Structure 1
Amino acid sequence: MTAGCPSLIALYRKLREAWSAETGGKWRPDNPAAGQCSVTALVVQDELGGEILKTDVDGAWHFYNQIDGRRVDFTMSQFDSPIGYDDLPSNRQDAFSDTSAAQYELLLGRIRSGS
């Protein structure tokens, strides 16, 4: 995550409140970012623009964003160890292959409604 940018910090706080088992099946109260990467990358792109990137983490794709040339990964806390980012270009279709329209619409709605 990029520290010091008010819009990023505000969005991160909204996301942490909005994530749930309904927005990502691996969600846990003690690890709210778990299973939220693809749906979060989509919503972050909607809200702040930029690109969607991906990297392989233990044999599975992990999605995150690049905004104004800076890597923004709001869900990195789901992992126990540091991520070796590959910063591979991705897209919305790729991220949607790891989530559902219902999860995306729910998270986007929660972010935009403020609840």
Structure 2
Amino acid sequence: MANVLYFTHADSWAVTLLLFIASFALIKTGKVKGHKITRMILRLFFVVMVISGLGMLFLYQFPLMYIVKGIIAVWLIAVMERILSRTEAGQRAGSSWVQFAVALLLVLLLGFEVIRF
């Protein structure tokens, strides 16, 4: 069961990042319909990612490091949504991009256990 959750979680992260980039590119090129479709699929993968992450938390009995990773991951999801919303509205999203980079780096380092505590 742990392998299924792990690979579902890891793969959903990869697909989520690709969909985020695709959705951002579609906004920038003005393809509204394509953006709406990819954004809905992106939100579906957010749900898959959160559910598989919660499943692993239950399975591993809530270690503190993964609780912190989960909190940062939810922050990352919120930042991704904020970037897409601001870009779609024509507003600047500079500080959100900085938050995106920091949160993504922390999630990856915690997920691959480069940072441990």
TM-score w.r.t. structure 2 length? 0.29
Q: Which has the higher strand share?
A: 1
Q: Which has the higher helix share?
A: 2
Q: Which structure ranks higher in relative contact order (CA pairs < 8 Å, sequence separation ≥ 6)?
A: 1
TM-score w.r.t. structure 1 length? 0.29
